[in-house]
Structure 1
């Protein structure tokens, strides 16, 4: 019969297995200022029991010190002093929590126009976009703007959360009016999956627990939707892509013959025995094994980070890509992309920048700025030859090295890149390849 120590070890192993195998959902919040994004995240954390007692006590103390007669849940996410003083979100705040069904990474993004670049950063890796609107205000310019950006970023799932329903007496007509208006607007966008949920973040209605005040609403609560939205099929499981990040050569006698290639699978499924090609050299070989820590795997798929061993001693280094022989990206130096510009110095023709695509780095020349996109109306400003801070536009680039890319609509990892100022080392642009 196992002793107490063995029981504890077995329990810890069971917890580790559940946690390791749990699905992960990344979602980003967006919306106008004071729509309640930070309060909503605070409510999710509170009602899902994901807050430590000392954190809650600190927020309650701060709330009382400011004269609030309720706990200001926004203080759980607005971490910068300037955010607390102004009552707005400036930087992207990431929060992590888990339920028995799924793990979550939340990006609380700013609502102000001048922080559009921060919103793009937070939403660029999201599986789901959560757009909040104030039930009293309805759809605003910023609500539409953020929905457009989420559509441009190809975020596959979108939730429109109609917040502050308690301030309109939980009126069904208000909900249906906003729902119909957004549904009409969404026809212009690329939104494969849309859900509309009425909530009150402050009081907790339809956030984690069902609302007693909105019995007319038959849909899921926000938490139930987040736990059950299907994201596994959103990843590209057809086009095999493995950008090599690191050559693994352990310095020990036991593994002195070991040579592996570490990185993240961003597309397709890899298995031992598969015939693959190493790009850009074009050398072909087969996968001999796939390693994860101290064990070998029968297969690897997105977004797993693994080490791949090959049968032949081919030349592979950081920046190379392993792909299928008959389904490999074509190396190209001419890039046509939508770029979000993130600095005050305008982007214009003949400008030279560093470019980073997957694990590959080089330099790029701006050949032309074709147009600037008005993200409120989707109008293309063909007269604009430059992009200013927070602008999004279509840009043509020429890189000094061949990039192993796919269209962004096909693969968000191999279809995106960042532009870097070589003088300061600052990221100044984010691109989505067309």
Structure 2
């Protein structure tokens, strides 16, 4: 016990100063269910004397209540804080605990073992310097052992400790330990993980946790604590150049303007030349400001505010770099994605991508492949499901300053957010920018959208008809186009069935294929709007995300959502193709309204209740809206039909 701090009086300031000067190791414990992760952390906290007397009393009482063998302390109860965790005997959420020894400070994350909580494990691993992979000596290397090892290496953790736990239940046998070590080493070789430390221990009994085991005398390596105290700290960037992502433009008054953030790599000093990315503007550092006063230099890991000699435009999300080594800017990347949501990733669907302090829209392409974490085999995939990992290209709405994750984890990682639920649904790591991000540019044209539209006497617009199959979308759209054409307007009608005969004939009716179907049609519609046309799009388009994506492709006021509102029962009575009947019999899968959802528009420009108005009246309502909103020359009669909203 003498190795741990027991402060009992003396120079308080000197003691506190000594604590501040210690370095910090962040590590995680992970592995399969019931490998003893919580017990191991509880043992470390207990041995480090980080428990108050009331905590120790509560632990003793809880241990008696759960009936531990021989009245021993159940150290897992120190970490499993949720009632559900205690009831089930498992870890559900990530639990963070801090403790200190006389050599180092520690923050440990106890992560879940269940496969369904793999996303929680990845969250804990994202900030860790070291990972302890626990293996139950009775079970050996399991699926979750491989999964967690893969995620740890994927996230760039270089220091791996394989802790073979519960050796007491295997009579502390050397052959058991060596067989597990050999099995893990064979798997780790495929990961490119050559250097790791393997330690036999018993978290419950304390063998090789703090002090060397008196029984496993055949083991001559370090104890777990000795290794944790001696391992090098930090996952610094391999790019040593100075980088500071701007989190906040600090402007308390007119006399001060600074740029606040954490230094993520390199060193900066007053007088250093810097370049702001993406603007490319340059200046020199005037001051390095902190709450405790100005610094003569700032290094990676420090939170500071920089003031500059020149007034240049820098915003939240920009990165201040060394002038001689600025970051690259790109908007298209190859990435590694861990999907963390129950609903699968849908290529082509717009998501929000949060990179540092920036949040911008982006879309994924279909995965190049996903990884079987058991065999590391590359498997063909059209999408990613919960806990799956794949290589996916991503397209952002605008360029961002970045570094590959292997060079700088702060500038090469991001999270994926659902635009409607605001849930975090995935995390990603940037491999590299795609060449087309810098090789493809918009070509300026002398004949543009405004000149084409003026000649046609109309404001180019997408008229997006959405509703259930059989609602009357195509019938109404066809009537509208006939009236517009007769009045001399330039139009084109894109119909769902017609497009699937050509442009989208390779797509099926899964959610992923439906998203891609709408994405392609939306892009074609955008080109037709640029040509100055009135584009009528008649598609079920069941998902709000894709309708929003289509709207955002064109300018303000160039999209009219028309909800052809027909109850399912009414739509079925108009089932001239017999599709609903087939879907009811199970002959057609993923049919909207039957076994696939239709998300009703929340605020369409037009809602047409076809139980109260005829197709002719609905068509007239659309013409009236187009005329009154200034999209047409007023040469078509304006009539408000019954049932029009």
User: If the TM-score is normalised by the length of the shorter chain, which range does it land in?
Assistant: over 0.9
Unaligned stretches of 5+ residues in structure 2: 1-7, 432-645
For residues 110-189 of structure 1, the aligned pairs below 5 Å read 110-189=112-191
The offset of 1:228, in angstroms, is: 1.1
Q: Larger radius of gyration, structure 1 or 2? A: 2
Aligned counterpart in structure 1 of residue 394 of structure 2, from 387, 394, 397:
397
1:50 maps onto 2:50 in alignment: yes
CA distance 1:9–1:309, change in 2 (3 Å) = farther
The corresponding residue for 2:403 is 406
The corresponding residue for 1:3 is none
Distance in 2, matches of 1:51 and 1:143, equals: 30
Aligned counterpart in structure 1 of residue 345 of structure 2, from 337, 344, 347:
347
The offset of 1:381, in angstroms, is: 1.1
Distance in 1, matches of 2:227 and 2:294, equals: 35
The corresponding residue for 2:214 is 212
Partners of 2:29 and 2:132 within 8 A in 1: yes
Distance in 2, matches of 1:233 and 1:86, equals: 35
Distance in 1, matches of 2:9 and 2:99, equals: 24
User: Deviation string for 1:173-210 (max 9, x for gaps)?
Assistant: 22222112212221111436411111110011111122
User: Deviation string for 1:15-52 (max 9, x for gaps)?
Assistant: 33222222111111111111100000000000011111
The corresponding residue for 1:92 is 94
Partners of 2:298 and 2:304 within 8 A in 1: yes
CA distance 1:234–1:173, change in 2 (3 Å) = farther
The corresponding residue for 1:424 is 421
Count of residues paired in the alignment:
422
The corresponding residue for 1:41 is 41
Aligned counterpart in structure 2 of residue 380 of structure 1, from 355, 378, 381:
378
User: Deviation string for 1:39-80 (max 9, x for gaps)?
Assistant: 000000000111112112111101101222211110111111
Partners of 2:208 and 2:223 within 8 A in 1: yes
Aligned counterpart in structure 1 of residue 249 of structure 2, from 241, 247, 250:
247
Across the aligned residues of Structure 1 and Structure 2, the Cα RMSD in angstroms comes to 1.8
For residues 273-288 of structure 1, the aligned pairs below 5 Å read 273-288=271-286
Distance in 2, matches of 1:64 and 1:349, equals: 53
The corresponding residue for 1:101 is 103
Distance in 1, matches of 2:359 and 2:408, equals: 19
User: Deviation string for 1:241-266 (max 9, x for gaps)?
Assistant: 21001122235xxxx52222111111
Partners of 1:157 and 1:192 within 8 A in 2: no
The offset of 1:271, in angstroms, is: 1.7
Larger RCO, structure (CA 8 Å, separation 6 or more): 1
The corresponding residue for 1:28 is 28
Partners of 1:236 and 1:268 within 8 A in 2: no
Partners of 1:341 and 1:391 within 8 A in 2: yes
The corresponding residue for 2:361 is 363
User: Deviation string for 1:284-309 (max 9, x for gaps)?
Assistant: 11112212212222222221111112
Distance in 1, matches of 2:319 and 2:280, equals: 10
Partners of 1:156 and 1:234 within 8 A in 2: no
Distance in 1, matches of 2:9 and 2:326, equals: 45
CA distance 1:178–1:234, change in 2 (3 Å) = farther
The offset of 1:278, in angstroms, is: 0.5
The offset of 1:237, in angstroms, is: 5.8
Distance in 2, matches of 1:193 and 1:258, equals: 50
The offset of 1:419, in angstroms, is: 0.7
The offset of 1:324, in angstroms, is: 1.4
Secondary structure at the residue paired with 1:63? Answer: helix
Distance in 2, matches of 1:329 and 1:138, equals: 45
User: Deviation string for 1:127-162 (max 9, x for gaps)?
Assistant: 001100011211112111111111111111100001
Distance in 2, matches of 1:276 and 1:9, equals: 48
Distance in 2, matches of 1:270 and 1:58, equals: 49
Partners of 2:131 and 2:159 within 8 A in 1: yes
The offset of 1:10, in angstroms, is: 9.8
Which one has a larger percent helix, Structure 1 or Structure 2?
2
Partners of 2:25 and 2:234 within 8 A in 1: no
Distance in 1, matches of 2:13 and 2:234, equals: 25
Distance in 1, matches of 2:239 and 2:293, equals: 23
Shifted more, 12-21 versus 283-292: the winner is 12-21
Using structure 2 for the length normalisation, give the TM-score.
Answer: 0.64
